[in-house]
Structure 1
């Protein structure tokens, strides 16, 4: 049986077990706000180096040495750079992405978590400015790191988690752009990997916002639902095959049908660089198959009737699950997201594949003319025109600045 036919059968079976909502599920990109660059932050952070690679080493193709098999189209960047945030979120709007689910490690000053917290706040502010939704995916491995570093005792982990959840509630849950399911703010936890189910019940007890709590791969009490992710634990001999991936989605669909909420996942592949960096063993490889992996998982996610579709990920370069433009794949994945918006009959979406190139041109010109306020004002006008769908006007402005049409 052909692979495409098998995927269609899985999608049909999944769709039949989950009630499809009356509105289109939002496309939410999983977003990593953890990149530090020397030009902006004064150093290259761990997620570009993994204590092994040196971004100051530049090859003949002007490619810096970074901890990834893939290379961002605009080069390595800093997650707190306002120009970078404008580029990312304008690009998401043009691609048809509705928002971001941000990987968050809490607010404590340990490892690079304080930086990630600041970058998360900046990303949420920028997402709001561009009319995007946002939500938090909490990494409770943070609690293990704090215990191991002697910052808290193991018996204090639940209290620390409660403080973190109240921080999220106070800072972000009440904002208009926060992703909601049935009127409840969506809160994802990656795992959980540290707290037990009973401990999570204690951590969430009494939160006035009553978040819709979702756990990884399966619903674990006290969760209301679950979210999907590349199941690299199902790899055999270091490879996650299409067959094993189909088995995962079939099981996930059964679990989702029994839960109140589900966030489906689409992903381009998986190829981490951990072994090369010497940080840990590789999780394995999920071949991109010239874009077929993303096509199939996105089609399945769209047919699932889930409350949202998570694009995994926008920019985890260390694990190679990247849909933002790279030198290797260009705009392949964002063009597919645009197609998906049109397939869903979204008459409000009018951007073309050619429009995807505009945000990078604006970003490059901002860097080139960083001290020229006249040019920067013109680029802000081009950005606003793009945001409003007037891409022809934006091209005129950009063309006048860089001499290209």
Structure 2
């Protein structure tokens, strides 16, 4: 009897400790109340462990080879910009940790995953779902939320689109981290289009598989194609190249279109400089929006702030579309500049030096991958960063990295 009581006490103590560990991480304090979400591409693959799926098309396109390394140690990739950590796999847990910590320290509230579903005509749909789920499984750990940008263009038929919506209902919507909007707290789903299904009756059939009404947003001026299922629209990156009018396009929508809509998601972005022609993909986008040393991002953020009352939320486009050159993710060319601008916009009590800790943590994990003791210490750094104890995280990381 005494032994049983002993183990009962041990079990109770362990349970209390586990409960304490399971407490959600603190939210970042922000002076700007506008919800800010990051558009996220889950489509990158790499041959290195622990993933080992080979270099994917989004690093190679048709004529780039990341196995070719230049004199600066950079791999040959299909982009005008080079990720600060080099090309990576989207399902790598250390990459996801790095990305989500950076977003949290910048005041981003969640990710909008560019989502292809479980069925579709694109050949890597299974890998895309695997990568998406790797992110979904981790966002809550960092106190972030998520939703999807539903790609209907690759559904071969209505049945595939319905199956993908059922997947959301069965695997995503019931998660506490899924973004719900409005008084009725309906799941947020952005539709990149519609492109394949442009009739309200088709969207009646697709949305029926959600099992509940949605906050469904389409691209600008396309909500009528989803009929009564659409709650509004979200802005995106576009301009008439002959007029060089990217900012005017956004401003005109906010002034003339937004007042007609129930729900509007704005957009801010650093520029658009795609690699499709150079990469041999053949898809030539008819415009380019210069990054202009960060001024394009500054102007789009300023516009969002000016029209904040018309916006339900703001989407940052994009975290990591290297092929189109729209990245907020730190690169060799832009450093942490874009995230530093986001920090000022959201009004967080963090700065570029704090972002640098997340980068140093990722690099240290690569250097000490086989060292169990160092890995355990680096896990503590990650927990401190997630708890927003940046000074303590920096001190500990300095100790670990001391030669």
Which band: TM-score by shorter chain?
0.7 to 0.9
Q: 1:223 aligns with which of 225, 230, 243?
A: 230
Contact 1:104–1:137 under 8 Å retained in 2: yes
Which TM-score applies when normalising by structure 1? 0.85
Query: 2:39, 2:212 → 1: CA distance?
Result: 23
Aligned residue in 2 for 1:54: 65
Deviates more, 1:31-40 or 1:219-228: 219-228
Query: 2:206, 2:255 → 1: CA distance?
Result: 28
Matched, 1:331 2:336: yes
Q: What's the Cα RMSD here?
A: 1.7
Counterpart of 2:278 in 1: which secondary structure?
A: helix
Query: 2:377, 2:305 → 1: CA distance?
Result: 38
Query: 2:341, 2:94 → 1: CA distance?
Result: 25
Contact 1:350–1:389 under 8 Å retained in 2: no
Q: 2:95 aligns with which of 81, 84, 91?
A: 84
Contact 1:28–1:308 under 8 Å retained in 2: yes
Q: Give how far 1:248 is off.
A: 4.0
Aligned residue in 2 for 1:11: none
Contact 1:158–1:200 under 8 Å retained in 2: no
Contact 1:30–1:101 under 8 Å retained in 2: yes
Q: In the TM superposition, what are the counterparts of 1:246-285 in structure 2 within 5 Å?
A: 246-283=248-285, 284-285=287-288
Matched, 1:235 2:241: yes
Q: In the TM superposition, what are the counterparts of 1:317-356 in structure 2 within 5 Å?
A: 317-342=322-347, 349-356=348-355
Q: 1:330 to 1:91 in 2, by over 3 A?
A: same
Render the CA deviation track for 1:49-97: whole Å, top value 9, x for unaligned. 0121000011111111101000000000000101100110011111111
Query: 1:266, 1:248 → 2: CA distance?
Result: 9
Specify the structure having the higher radius of gyration (Cα).
2
Q: In the TM superposition, what are the counterparts of 1:146-185 in structure 2 within 5 Å?
A: 147=156, 157-182=157-182, 183-185=185-187
Aligned residue in 2 for 1:75: 86
Matched, 1:120 2:132: yes
Contact 2:119–2:163 under 8 Å retained in 1: no
Matched, 1:190 2:192: yes
Aligned residue in 1 for 2:300: 297
Query: 1:129, 1:244 → 2: CA distance?
Result: 36
Gaps of 5+ in 1: 1-21, 148-156, 343-348
Contact 1:231–1:245 under 8 Å retained in 2: no
Aligned residue in 1 for 2:115: 104
Matched, 1:130 2:113: no
Query: 1:91, 1:36 → 2: CA distance?
Result: 21
Q: Give how far 1:172 is off.
A: 0.7
Counterpart of 2:362 in 1: which secondary structure?
A: helix
Q: 1:293 to 1:179 in 2, by over 3 A?
A: same
Q: 1:297 to 1:56 in 2, by over 3 A?
A: same
Query: 2:281, 2:401 → 1: CA distance?
Result: 43
Query: 1:301, 1:181 → 2: CA distance?
Result: 19
Matched, 1:45 2:56: yes
Gaps of 5+ in 2: 1-30
Which TM-score applies when normalising by structure 2? 0.86
Render the CA deviation track for 1:10-47: whole Å, top value 9, x for unaligned. xxxxxxxxxxxx98121101000100011132410000
Query: 1:23, 1:135 → 2: CA distance?
Result: 21
Query: 1:168, 1:206 → 2: CA distance?
Result: 9
Counterpart of 2:395 in 1: which secondary structure?
A: helix
Stretches of 4+ moved more than 6 A in 1? Answer: none
